[in-house]
Structure 1
Amino acid sequence: PELAALMASAKPLGRFWEWGRNIICVGRNYAEHAQELKNALPSEPLFFLKPSSAYVREGEPILKPYYCSDLHHEVELGVVIGKKTQAVPQEVAMDHVAGYALCLDMTARDTQAECKQKGLPWTLAKGFNTSCPVSEFVPKEKIPDPHKLQIWLKVNGELKQEGETSSMIFSIPYIISYISEIITLEEGDLILTGSPKGVSAVQEHDEIQAGIKGILSMQFKVAQQSR
């Protein structure tokens, strides 16, 4: 009876977006993407947070914030944490991974530029509602090596982003180890690992399709937020 009660109360990782606490995003982790935005390459991972209210699933629209005139897509591989992770060495970091998801880091680029200019945090640019669309959960057993994946994104059928996860500047074990020394990761937390080049603007009524080649795909429409 005790085991049955424990299993019944367990949170399903396959629906991490419903109860996971933290979304940690790594920026500038693909050299060509950093270069296209005229950013210097980092010597250590650059990361920022999104609130869990940023999650959005297929069937619901991505909302362009009322204050944004330049909304950009950034397709990324997401890593779902499977157990408490605190100051873990790289050598065992992958033991703390439960699986993966395809994610979009939607960015109010004009707002981000303004925040940078004023020396302000990126919350308005990165943390708004629906700024983190996610796919279905993929157990790690289905992806033996997350550094050998091809991710892609199309807008209205036109290919905009295509990249290999082998091009990451910082590997997934390094990222997990680095973040976990600063922020304790919990079961269900999500790490976005950076975006390849090709980011571009999207408008109301645009359709975004994205995928991990040979694994999954997802689709979202863009809508305008009303005040």
Structure 2
Amino acid sequence: MSLGRVTSAQPLSQNWGYDRGTPIDRHYIEDFLNQHASDVRGHVLEVQEDDYSRRFGGSKVTQQDILNVDASNPQATIIGDLADPATLPTARFDCVILTQTLHLVYDMPGAVENVRRSLKPGGVLLVTTPGITPVQPDKGYHWYWSLTEEALGRLLEGSFDPKSVTTHSYGNLSSATAFLHAAAVQEISKRKLNRFDPRYPVVIGARAVA
């Protein structure tokens, strides 16, 4: 990325780079889920759609639920706020896929506790959150937080056994800069994307077992 592009006041895209290809954060989210694809099985809950459940779970998924905050999504089977204890059933799911969602919930500890209660014993939460990211509050939702790897770990350890929680961050200066400018994965070399520098986390991923 040229110095002129780096110092530009306007991003390449107003939609994280979707109109140019695959957004950079999705590369890291999908890498995280691919590493833990064996956990996507049984009765699975995903937010908004079931794309990742189908992609990473396939035939291992025997029952699917989709959570949405309102009834506007025709695919949703559970409607409600993740921070509301009444939204999720108790001890229902073998796996919850919670990608890029917690930062939209003001009461993150409450949401994490509700997710933990919704998991069967031994069930797995696979969660990702933004680190360094453009913030787009004009998309019809509230954007409250960005996290570090340590913050996500401590958040999960408030509800899960700390020994069951593992975290990993993804990104580096090059990919963080490109993501802020809304470049797409297809415009960045894999070598630059896959280099890791803990000072510049783009996506934080965590696995927690109930």
Question: TM bucket by the smaller chain?
Answer: under 0.3
Greater fraction strand: 1
TM superposition score normalised by structure 1:
0.26
Greater fraction helix: 2
Higher RCO (C-alpha 8 Å, min separation 6): 1
TM superposition score normalised by structure 2:
0.28
